[in-house]
Amino acid sequence: TTKRAYNFNAGPSALPLEVLQKAQAELVDFQGTGMSVMELSHRSATFEAVHNEAIANLRKLFAVPDNYEIVFLQGGASLQFSMIPMNFLTEGKRANYVLTGSWSEKALKEAKFSGEAVASVSTKENKYKNIPTEVEVGENDAYVHITSNNTIYGTQWKTFPETGNVPLIADMSSDIMSKPVDISKFGMIYAGAQKNLGPSGVTVAIIRKDLLESANTNLPTMLKYDTFVANNSLYNTPPTFGIYMLGEVLKWIEAQGGLEQVAKNNEAKAALIYDAIDNSNGFYYGHAEEGSRSLMNITFRVADEELEKQFLKEAEEAGFVGLSGHRSVGGCRASTYNAVPTEACQALADFMKAFQAKHQ
């Protein structure tokens, strides 16, 4: 049998075992070509079918309406921090950022290179423990930018803010396709694939067509969304293996029962770990305020600092991977993305209870 770790990495992170096994089976001879997907020309009919199927399945499973384009990009979500203002912060307008963590701060920093960009709301004073209840939208805003799930602090938007006529843009890197979302509320959604959708190297962007029509045009070819839209994300060589893997992850999501079922699984998984925290009488405590808790990144502390080190050490010895908090905040973090099995979350909850019983 295959030895699989209890992988709670924040990204790159766990992939479905079924997907890895299928990729393994197809690796040296993909569909009778005598080649792996990695060795195919990106202009071949065989690869193009993989590419188009991935886009079509993404549209179907995430219920992306017809007035949105789906593109595959490179450079991670981090390059989107730059491309968004380059394309959409048009002359005389202001970019509006809602700061809920380090990734929103980074997005804002890049926007400032393109023009006026402000943090209209921030929860930094509260140590990014919560998601704001309201946002402030200015008449002159080119867009409002949010981070739907804050990977480092472990908070998540439960309902998305109303921004009227101003397009809402969301960095969904750490919770894309973890649940159904009403796409029509957004001007644009983007995400690096390496948490819920596949390996690193592919970035997904879903962009409303009217935004593309009014975008800045005087941009380098590779930094302009229109280049990717006009060429079906095949202007230059795309990350072919990553796109193939993303396509297989989408098929796996469909086999799970689609996003409704995936969302239920994710709720149940997170509840196992949050319950272990909440029922610990303060032995463990969460970072996020209850109404803002993420179902993807569960951030917590062991109240006793020495015991926290011991917890992380014993957890590692017991086969749990990736439980240290982000280097900027410390503590513990369990990332429970789509492909993390319920059994792994149950095993962690059991381990937490046993550790508490032993050391309290």
User: DSSP letter at 38?
Assistant: G
CA angle at 72 for the pair 181 and 44, rounded to the nearest 5°:
130
Q: Is 114 in the site for ligand PMP (CB under 6 A)?
A: no
For ligand PMP, what does the binding mask look like between residues 192 and 231, x meaning CB under 6 A? x---------------------------------------
Q: Kindly report the number of other CB atoms within 10 A of residue 180's CB atom.
A: 14
Give yes or no: 127 in active site: no
Tokens of 353: 């209870």
> What is the spatial order of strands in the sheet that 68-73 belongs to?
68-73, 203-208, 188-192, 168-171, 141-147, 94-99, 116-122
Is 357 labelled as part of a ligand binding site?
no
Give yes or no: 29 in active site: no
Question: How far apart are alpha carbons 250 and 183 in whole angstroms?
Answer: 17
> Which part of the chain contacts ligand PMP (CB under 6 A), choosing from 156-164, 166-174, 230-238, 278-286?
166-174
Nearer of residues 76 and 167 to ligand PMP, judged by Cβ: 76
Bridge partners of 333? 299
Task: Kindly tell me which residue out of 33, 74, 78, 232 binds ligand PMP, with binding defined by CB under 6 A.
Answer: 78
Q: Is 173 in the site for ligand PMP (CB under 6 A)?
A: yes
Give yes or no: 195 in active site: yes
Question: How far apart are alpha carbons 129 and 133 in whole angstroms?
Answer: 13
Is 327 labelled as part of a ligand binding site?
no
Is 78 labelled as part of a ligand binding site?
yes
> Which part of the chain contacts ligand PMP (CB under 6 A), choosing from 116-124, 170-178, 271-279, 338-346?
170-178
Residue number, nearest CB to ligand PMP: 76
The CA-atom distances, in angstroms, between 327 and each of 76, 196, 202, 324 are 20, 22, 24, 8
Residues that bind ligand PMP (CB under 6 A): 11, 76-78, 103, 147, 151, 171, 173-174, 192
Residues with active-site annotation: 103, 171, 195
User: Known binding site for pyridoxal 5'-phosphate: residues?
Assistant: 77-78, 103, 151, 171, 194, 236-237
